[in-house]
Every structure is written in structure tokens, then in C-alpha cells.
Amino acid sequence: MPHEPVSPGKNCPDCSRLVEFRAENSKAFPDWHNAPVPAFGSLDASVLICGLAPGKQGANRTGRPFTGDFAGDLLYPTLLKNGFAKGKYGATPNDGLELLDCRITNAVRCVPPENRPTTAEIKACNRFLRDEIAAMPGLRVIIALGTIAHGAIVSSFGFKKSAFPFNHGGMHTLNENIRLYDSYHCSRYNTNTGRLTPEMFDAVVRAARHYVSSPPK
């Protein structure tokens, strides 16, 4: 049986800079979520997708990872195409979209200024990621979106980052049950600059689909 992972409370005090930013946003936009964003999807899933951190006007506004910003416009249709979601992505948490065999979380749960968490913030939030992973008994694949998510996952397993260099389209074996697939982050910047095309992103998600659709050895 999955256990409920330890999650940061709504007023998590761990990172002073993020607490300050949260207070600023709460004042300017009182109707927004403005709190650590919980993971989305079942703990029974075989796939965990790990992003960087909530976008200010995306997950930090809506309260659901990748919901309401550019990155979600690429992520969710790609999940729908590969059978990891059903319904319709409507950029709002009440769009009825359901994840199938897939859960989504972030390396850092609170929105950081300029979308850039500090090393200390990534480290402080790592215990939540570690417990998220520990709470998924059937986990077989983690998809890291970008180098920061990749590093946070590698650290959460107790490995040195240098042991598993980030490699878009690459795969790393983390233990006998869990593989890590790397993708460049599906951000607006990466797609606008052509670093990540929808086809490249689809290929990573398709590889995960292919792997989890075959029975565990």
C-alpha cells in the first residue's frame, strides 16, 4: 500500500527567499494558489515526471503542476498522445483531465523568482522528492525535465550527480526497479530556441511508454 508522502505545509518556512516571494505574490494576487504545489496523479503510477519548480503564472497560480503555462501546453498533449492521460487539458485544475499510470511533481515545490531556484533551495526541498519516490511502490520510470530535475532525482537516491550525467534522450538505471529518462525541459525558452522540439519530447515520453508497457522482468 502506498503511504502518503511527506509534503511541505502550505506555509513551509524552509527557504526564506521563497517565503518572501510567496508573501509578495499573495499580496499582489490574493486569488492565486501561492503555496507549495502538490504532486498530481496516483501514487500507484509506474511513471513519475519531475519538473523544475512551479511557474509563477502557471502552477503557482492554479495549484496543479504545469497547469496554466506554456510548459503545460506541451507536456499535457504529449501525455495524452502517449496514453498517460485521458480527457482534455484545459489549463485549469478543474478541466477533468486524469493522469493514467503517471504522476507529476517538481524538484522544488514553491515558485522561485525568475524560475531559478538556488542550490540551497533545491537541497532543502529534496526530502519531499525523496519521499514522493519512496511512496510510489510500483514506480518504474522517472522522467527528468531538465538538468536541475535530473540532479535532484540523482541526489534523492544518494548518488553523486557526476555518476549520472544529464543526457537528453538518455536513460540511467537508478536501481533494480527504477530507470531515469532525461529530457530537456519543455519550457517556452527551449521550444522557441529549437533545443527541444515537440517530436524530441514525444520520443522521450514514448520510450517511457514502451518500457512500462512491457512487463517488469
Applying CB under 6 A, the residues found at the interface with ligand URA are 51-55, 58-59, 65-66, 69, 71, 106, 145
Residue 28 C-beta: closest distance to ligand URA, Å: 19
- Of the two residues 24 and 189, which places its CB atom closer to ligand URA in the complex? 189
Dump strand ranges (E) for 117-193. 141-145, 171-173, 179-183
| C-alpha of 116 from chain center | 15
CA-CA distance, 70 to 201, in Å (whole number)?
A: 14
Residue 87 C-beta: closest distance to ligand URA, Å: 19
- Of the two residues 111 and 217, which places its CB atom closer to ligand URA in the complex? 111
Q: Nearest to ligand URA by Cβ — which residue?
A: 51
In 3D space, the residue among 138, 175, 184 whose CA is nearest the CA of residue 154 turns out to be 175
- Of the two residues 15 and 71, which places its CB atom closer to ligand URA in the complex? 71
Handedness of CA 171, 208, 87, 6 (dihedral sign): negative
CB 133 within 8 A of CB 107: no
Residue 90 C-beta: closest distance to ligand URA, Å: 16
- Of the two residues 54 and 141, which places its CB atom closer to ligand URA in the complex? 54
